[in-house]
Structure 1
Amino acid sequence: MALRDSDPVEVGGYRIEDRLGAGGMGVVYLARSASGRRLAIKVVHGQYADDDEFRARFRREVSAARQVSGAFTAPVVDADADASRPWMATLYIPGADLGTHVREHGPLSAPRLRELAAGLAEALRDIHRAGVVHRDLKPANVMLAEDGPRVIDFGISRAAEFAAADVLTQTGRVMGTPPFMSPEQFASPQDVGPAADIFSLGSVLAYAATRRGPFDSPSPYETAVRVVEGEPALAGVPDELLPFVRLCLEKHPKSRVTADELLTLLRDGGPAAPPPATEESRTAPPRRVPAATPPRDTPLADPPPEPTGPRGGRRRRYLLTAAAGAAVAAVLAATTVVLTVALSRDSDPGPSAAARSDLPDGWKPWATAAKAPKGSERLLGSADSALAGCAAVDTSLVCAGSGLMATRFDLADGRATWGRPVDPTPDGSSGSSEGALIGTTDAHVYAYEAEEGETAAGPRFSYTVYALAADTGKELWRTGTGTGESASLPDSTQGAATAVPEGVVTFYGSQGDQYALLDAETGDVRWKHPKPHGPKAPADCLLRSAADHAYLVCVIGLSERGASRTTVSQIDPATGKARWTVEAKGAQYLLGQHDGRLVLADTFATDRGLTMIDVSSRVLTVRRLAQPRPEDAQAYLVRGTVYFTRDSGGVRAVSPRTGRTLWESNSSVEKQGPPTASATQVYFASPSGRLAALDVSTGEVVATRPGRDDGGRSDSLLVTTGAPLVLVGDALYVPYGVRSVYTVDVRDL
């Protein structure tokens, strides 16, 4: 770049040879030292020379750059922050910055991406060990040197230990480059620490792999919102790099890996290409820590859908307004942001409470009970029990349990309009199943009917899967799944059936030794296959679904001694064959899926962490837990967090990506059932309907409701856990007592 007449001949005694570039804060020149060494000299624009705060930031940039090893940065040779125009000289690094390289040559190849990831992780490790947080890691600040990437430009860095007291980054100041900033840089700039650089690293790697940032948007406001609460766009990132990018892009700082951990995972966490996975070649660094041990017959909740209505109230609007303001300013300035946000928490009251509500049309608080099925007073275990589970379908809350195949409540007013029993002809001799929903579609409900009893020839068992219309209970189709002493009950809570968009996958046949797909529209058996066999006997298999895919999870050599192994197979809905199979150690239970990865917990072992399987690459990792947990805890995956819960009310929130404990609390809810969560709170309930709301970020109990077992339970000692909750916008539906449900507006807790 040619020199201009206004450019200096020398700076600090160093002869200027060329102009390397210019930005909003200054000009960078190529210069020579007396010995002939090439230097890059950054000279601040004149208009900033009289800005005392800017000079203070410049001194800090020089200090930060000097603290970090030159192996990963451009070493500082000389500087003068008190000159008429402050300047700093570093060694010149030949080569283009990452942004320029990608623009000119396209995305990096997979091997080069892995080298870049390792190089930047090393650089951040060194930077953080020096007590510095860079805060502006972006493609333009990564130089592609011959010996590896170098991180440059510490203009807005700071000492990590002075986060809260940093006068240059007090509340109201947002600093960084929006598409590569972390959520906390928008929401809480004074609390930014090393984890912010890790988030930026994830964004930089995604850019290097795809030529676009994971939160890019034409709208600066949308960019800010996507960073704070949106899912990253990672299409095009190579499968083998995805697990590492996702670990960096966790929204909560404590959920992200450190630079040290990332380096270890890059070295040991998986091969460069995804051949059939084995645990030995895909595990995280071994460290023996007690792991999850949910009871095998405990229903574990999959993540509910993201809320579609307005969430979070005034505080969230404030944060997003601040974030949007920062993004807009950054786009207009086309440079690093140093922006004062002049908003107080109460400056924007927002719309009225009524306008902000996200409740079903015509909703009002209600509590009601379903009618007992005919003859249930003669059925052992069915006359006095709770609903096993509920699901919201259109305007209906459809529940099952307590001898009911399914029953409907209106979401708005609680009217119970229809109900069907599990056993159509109870005669007192049956031990009829309690009942459970298999699944739902947009307007349909899958449930089952059971006929179990004694005949002159011996026991008789017959099971049928039904598809019902959610609004009327009308039968759409029915298909028998097995008749015989060894037939399998198609109960989803026992892992014997599950629903997917193509229909119901269930164990099938008189021996229950097959699995089959019942067509969603007709109930016809589209295919069936035998269960897998172990070396000496059939494997102990469960059917589970996650993200609209069915999985066959089979434990071979089931044993509490830890000699078991588990195969996880994704079932092709067209043929029933396994699209892929991954084997893991131990007796694993599938909790659900989050961010493209299955999350599993071991049923018995206490020295095994959470098992993660990337559904795209099939890379398996074992995420060690940061601290042991009680053996009697149950595990649930809800909105990307694993909650370990105890009957006493204890709750521990854990990031499945890192195994780190996010918080630990006590809900004060006895025998708490599977939780549900919004973007801001997680809810727990007891069998009697006692309710607690905890802050998802801190675990603080923010609200409680007393129990209301007016359903007439007389045998509550037999109840082991509360029923799963259902959240529809701001309306929370709580099953309790005997076939009873109540609903509450969570904003009024």
Structure 2
Amino acid sequence: MALRDSDPAEVGGYRIEDRLGSGGMGVVYLARSASGRRLALKVVHGQYADDDEFRTRFSREVDAARQVSGAFTAPVVDADADAPRPWMATLYIPGEDLGTHVRRHGPLPADRLRELAAGLAEALRDIHRAGVVHRDLKPANVMLAGDGPRVIDFGISRAVGFAPADALTQTGRVMGTPPFMSPEQFTSPHEVGPATDVFSLGAIVVYAATRRGPFDSASPWETATQVVEGTPDLDAVPDELLPFVRLCLEKHPKSRPTPDELLHLLREGRLPEPAPEPEPAAPAPARPRRRRWWLVACAALTALAAVAATAVAVTRDDHGPRYALPAGWHPWHRQAKDPYRGDEAAPSPSDSFTRCAATGTSLVCAGDGVMAARFALSDGSQTWRKPIDPKPTASAATGGGRVFGTGPGGVVYVYGADDEDVPNRNDTTVTHFSVRAVRANTGALLWARTTGSSAMTASGTNGGVFTDSSGLDSGMGATDGDGYAVPVRRGVISVFGDQDQWYALLGAAHGEVLWKRAVPRGHDDDCTLREAGGRPYLRCAAYAKDGAATHTRISALDPSSGEIRWTATVRGSQNLLGQARGHLVLTDDETENTKRTLTLVDLSSHIVTSVRLARSERDATGYVARDTVYFTHYSGSLHCVDPFTGRLRWESDSTVEQPGPPLATTDRVHVASPTGRLAALDTRTGKVMGTAPGRDDGGTSDSADAVHAPLVLVGDALYVPYGIRSVYTVNVKDL
């Protein structure tokens, strides 16, 4: 990376030659000592240097790194924790970090995976013997050196021997990178020990084998829930490493092997025999013991995948930590006020929320053509509400507003549509589509970026048919709820251009266009942006001259560049439902409204397979939740289907009319109606385990088609949007 004008020429007497990268704590430079030795020199960001707690934490990083030998890490050469901008210099390790290597070259082959697992186990043994816990082990912190992997960046490590009363261990902060964090880092961060690094080791090996984490989900909240309660996705992990990975990813810290035991497992094909345990003097309560896991691992090595699957069932910890409710939570229900009240030119206020998103202590909801509003997660209090279109026009049918994701720093992303009358052109309105970043706690607009415009002329009055006076094509979903924008780590990938001929990445900080790519479609293609498993895809359906769908292309997008990584082609017009166990799941959206098959796309090989449904689903809407396909029916019937066999696992009368998108946990699947009636069903049998009644205090939408906002789960608090701009919340444990 090129140096910037603001970068120093030297630090601590070391000459700066290049930028290696920038992270949460500071900037890392390539530096050279007087003798010519190359160093990686980290300089703390200026805004943190005056933070006493941060300075103390950096001092600990230096102390921790110095305690560990350089055989498996980057040894410390020099440091100054008291400098105006603290810095630390370590030996420079040439090569790529594991995350960059896997993104560029794909998953590691089996032999290199085994070397990686052994090298990292050795590194953790060395780190833990020095009394240090890394706590942020992830692919970016693993360098692929010529002599084996090296662990770097002890930025949030802490020495095991620090007293529990230490202020920095009592802050309650959750620190780490969610896809590679352990369950205890979310549920009891004060009690994190060496076993947390072992869990991260297992997650890293899965990533190196599959190019995805074992608990990847669409949002940090979902990822955290999966880490604490979910089953890891290990489908593409080589059989010989499954026992190693499964043991690392056990939920309870005491059930995970030590690095020494993992090395023995890799060398001998089994864990060492445990020392005999003395008989207790009196009966003691049962608790997880490592002996059981050793026996399971040995059996798994003999029978590979089949027995490994049994190991999961036998050793599942049903008494592990669970989420609590948001601080100060109690049941509540609220209706947001109409921000257009009293404005005769306003669009109709009779619209439901279309989506809500939770971040920090806020639940932010947006109504299609109505508003965005903030509810406190704890008590539903509203601190702000506003129209997306501050100056609605008389000729516009609707404005637009839809929350579609969250960003860093407590930001929610909203897709908006502002309508503007064209002077001297009767009944002509220009709609400006935009992506906006809004501070969830205050409603302050961080940035707004116009992504396209379209001129419309009304034929008739009051909701008559609209025609596009400019001939613009909105095929990429400018007005389609789920096809316009997808949040990614660096910002938002959005449709772009007045004819939706581009898609672009808008930066999270300022909404600037970081890259822009042309949509690769034919003249009659209908293209939309989609998200599955937290990754962006481009879906393009092609049509013949007679209007019949011929095929659909699903293209995986590289969020960093916008380039298409690979494309799979499926027959007819198919909708992307989601991701299940390393496969994209699609189903036909035509065929006389009857779904007869599922289509699977393997994310590793990109091979397309078709699975015939055991029972055709007529007039049903399909969803993927926790590796399972659910079909909802207008009558309230809910069908649970295995996506890999097409077998109907169960069908149930949910008691919920017009059920919306299901929300599944490990043992329950929840559905709600437009009026707020809620049902919780057993995921294994479909039995209705609990219900909450519908409500009439929110009113009903004037639309003939019910609007379903997905349910939002924060810990054990379930938030149910219903009626007109209304939300209520319940404790899922009380259903």
What is the CA distance between 1:499 and its match in structure 2? Answer: 1.6
Counterpart of 2:246 in structure 1 is 215
1:615-626 residue pairs with structure 2 within 5 A? 615-626=603-614
Is the counterpart of residue 363 in structure 1 residue 329 in structure 2? yes
Counterpart of 1:578 in structure 2 is 564
Q: Does the CA-based 8 Å contact 1:221-1:328 persist in structure 2?
A: no
Is the counterpart of residue 439 in structure 1 residue 405 in structure 2? yes
Rounded to whole Å, the distance in 2 between the matches of 1:471 and 1:204 is 40
Aligned residue type for 1:572: D
1:718-737 residue pairs with structure 2 within 5 A? 718-737=704-723
Is the counterpart of residue 372 in structure 1 residue 338 in structure 2? yes
What is the CA distance between 1:502 and its match in structure 2? Answer: 2.1
Counterpart of 1:397 in structure 2 is 363
Counterpart of 2:684 in structure 1 is 697
- Seen in structure 2, the aligned counterparts of structure 1 residues 745 and 225 have a Cα distance that, compared at 3 Å, is farther
Counterpart of 1:678 in structure 2 is 665
Q: Does the CA-based 8 Å contact 1:399-1:406 persist in structure 2?
A: yes
- Seen in structure 2, the aligned counterparts of structure 1 residues 425 and 595 have a Cα distance that, compared at 3 Å, is same
Q: Mean alpha-carbon deviation: is it higher for 208-217 or for 722-731?
A: 208-217
Counterpart of 1:517 in structure 2 is 505
Aligned length: 446
Is the counterpart of residue 424 in structure 1 residue 390 in structure 2? yes
What is the CA distance between 1:447 and its match in structure 2? Answer: 0.9
What is the CA distance between 1:322 and its match in structure 2? Answer: 8.4
Counterpart of 1:21 in structure 2 is none
Q: Mean alpha-carbon deviation: is it higher for 502-511 or for 669-678?
A: 502-511
Counterpart of 1:73 in structure 2 is none
Aligned residue type for 2:500: G
Is the counterpart of residue 549 in structure 1 residue 535 in structure 2? yes
Determine which of 563, 579, 599 is the counterpart of 1:593: 579
Q: Does the CA-based 8 Å contact 1:518-1:524 persist in structure 2?
A: yes
Residue by residue, what CA displacement relative to the aligned partner does 1:695-740 show, whole Å, maximum 9, x if unpaired?
0111000111111120233x45634243211111111100112111
- Seen in structure 2, the aligned counterparts of structure 1 residues 328 and 585 have a Cα distance that, compared at 3 Å, is same
What is the CA distance between 1:221 and its match in structure 2? Answer: 6.8
Is the counterpart of residue 602 in structure 1 residue 588 in structure 2? yes
Rounded to whole Å, the distance in 1 between the matches of 2:251 and 2:499 is 60
Counterpart of 1:651 in structure 2 is 638
Counterpart of 1:746 in structure 2 is 732
Rounded to whole Å, the distance in 1 between the matches of 2:560 and 2:251 is 43
- Seen in structure 2, the aligned counterparts of structure 1 residues 591 and 377 have a Cα distance that, compared at 3 Å, is farther
Counterpart of 1:569 in structure 2 is 555
Aligned residue type for 2:412: V
- Seen in structure 2, the aligned counterparts of structure 1 residues 427 and 204 have a Cα distance that, compared at 3 Å, is closer
Counterpart of 2:22 in structure 1 is none
Higher RCO structure (Cα 8 Å, ≥6 apart)? 1
Q: Tell me the SS of whatever aligns to 1:216.
A: helix
Residue by residue, what CA displacement relative to the aligned partner does 1:575-595 show, whole Å, maximum 9, x if unpaired?
322111111111111112222
Rounded to whole Å, the distance in 1 between the matches of 2:401 and 2:682 is 33
Rounded to whole Å, the distance in 2 between the matches of 1:203 and 1:498 is 26
Determine which of 608, 611, 616 is the counterpart of 1:628: 616
Rounded to whole Å, the distance in 1 between the matches of 2:399 and 2:347 is 8
What is the CA distance between 1:624 and its match in structure 2? Answer: 2.0
Q: Does the CA-based 8 Å contact 1:379-1:432 persist in structure 2?
A: no
Determine which of 338, 345, 354 is the counterpart of 1:388: 354
Determine which of 475, 481, 485 is the counterpart of 2:451: 481
Q: Tell me the SS of whatever aligns to 1:437.
A: strand
- Seen in structure 2, the aligned counterparts of structure 1 residues 376 and 490 have a Cα distance that, compared at 3 Å, is farther
Counterpart of 2:418 in structure 1 is 451
Rounded to whole Å, the distance in 2 between the matches of 1:698 and 1:366 is 30
What is the CA distance between 1:402 and its match in structure 2? Answer: 4.8
Counterpart of 1:712 in structure 2 is 699
Counterpart of 2:269 in structure 1 is none
Determine which of 373, 378, 381 is the counterpart of 1:412: 378
Aligned residue type for 2:629: V
Q: Does the CA-based 8 Å contact 1:591-1:601 persist in structure 2?
A: yes
Q: Mean alpha-carbon deviation: is it higher for 464-473 or for 205-214?
A: 205-214
Rounded to whole Å, the distance in 1 between the matches of 2:705 and 2:351 is 8
What is the CA distance between 1:448 and its match in structure 2? Answer: 2.9
What is the CA distance between 1:437 and its match in structure 2? Answer: 1.2
Aligned residue type for 1:739: R
Q: Does the CA-based 8 Å contact 1:357-1:730 persist in structure 2?
A: yes
1:320-331 residue pairs with structure 2 within 5 A? 326-327=292-293
Query: RMSD of aligned C-alpha atoms?
Result: 3.9
What is the CA distance between 1:629 and its match in structure 2? Answer: 1.7
- Seen in structure 2, the aligned counterparts of structure 1 residues 586 and 487 have a Cα distance that, compared at 3 Å, is closer
- Normalization by structure 1: what TM-score? 0.54
Counterpart of 2:73 in structure 1 is none
Aligned residue type for 1:628: S
- Seen in structure 2, the aligned counterparts of structure 1 residues 709 and 578 have a Cα distance that, compared at 3 Å, is same
1:108-187 residue pairs with structure 2 within 5 A? none
- Normalization by structure 2: what TM-score? 0.55
Rounded to whole Å, the distance in 1 between the matches of 2:668 and 2:547 is 38
Rounded to whole Å, the distance in 1 between the matches of 2:492 and 2:301 is 54
Q: Does the CA-based 8 Å contact 1:643-1:651 persist in structure 2?
A: yes
Q: Tell me the SS of whatever aligns to 2:679.
A: strand
Q: Does the CA-based 8 Å contact 1:382-1:434 persist in structure 2?
A: no
- Seen in structure 2, the aligned counterparts of structure 1 residues 501 and 491 have a Cα distance that, compared at 3 Å, is farther
- Seen in structure 2, the aligned counterparts of structure 1 residues 365 and 622 have a Cα distance that, compared at 3 Å, is same
Q: Tell me the SS of whatever aligns to 1:708.
A: coil
Counterpart of 1:460 in structure 2 is 430
What is the CA distance between 1:532 and its match in structure 2? Answer: 2.4
Rounded to whole Å, the distance in 2 between the matches of 1:334 and 1:621 is 29
- Seen in structure 2, the aligned counterparts of structure 1 residues 430 and 331 have a Cα distance that, compared at 3 Å, is closer
Aligned residue type for 2:349: A
Q: Does the CA-based 8 Å contact 2:347-2:392 persist in structure 1?
A: no
Rounded to whole Å, the distance in 1 between the matches of 2:583 and 2:373 is 34
Q: Does the CA-based 8 Å contact 2:332-2:729 persist in structure 1?
A: yes
Aligned residue type for 1:674: P
Is the counterpart of residue 642 in structure 1 residue 609 in structure 2? no
Counterpart of 1:506 in structure 2 is 494
Rounded to whole Å, the distance in 2 between the matches of 1:425 and 1:328 is 67
Q: Does the CA-based 8 Å contact 1:380-1:431 persist in structure 2?
A: no
- Seen in structure 2, the aligned counterparts of structure 1 residues 510 and 219 have a Cα distance that, compared at 3 Å, is closer
Rounded to whole Å, the distance in 2 between the matches of 1:220 and 1:421 is 45
What is the CA distance between 1:603 and its match in structure 2? Answer: 0.9
What is the CA distance between 1:323 and its match in structure 2? Answer: 9.7
What is the CA distance between 1:327 and its match in structure 2? Answer: 3.9
- Seen in structure 2, the aligned counterparts of structure 1 residues 332 and 562 have a Cα distance that, compared at 3 Å, is closer
Q: Does the CA-based 8 Å contact 1:555-1:565 persist in structure 2?
A: yes
- Seen in structure 2, the aligned counterparts of structure 1 residues 596 and 672 have a Cα distance that, compared at 3 Å, is same
Identity %: 42
Residue by residue, what CA displacement relative to the aligned partner does 1:288-343 show, whole Å, maximum 9, x if unpaired?
xxxxxxxxxxxxxxxxxxxxxxxxxxxxxxx9968988547768999999xxxxxx
Q: Does the CA-based 8 Å contact 1:438-1:491 persist in structure 2?
A: no
- Seen in structure 2, the aligned counterparts of structure 1 residues 387 and 377 have a Cα distance that, compared at 3 Å, is farther
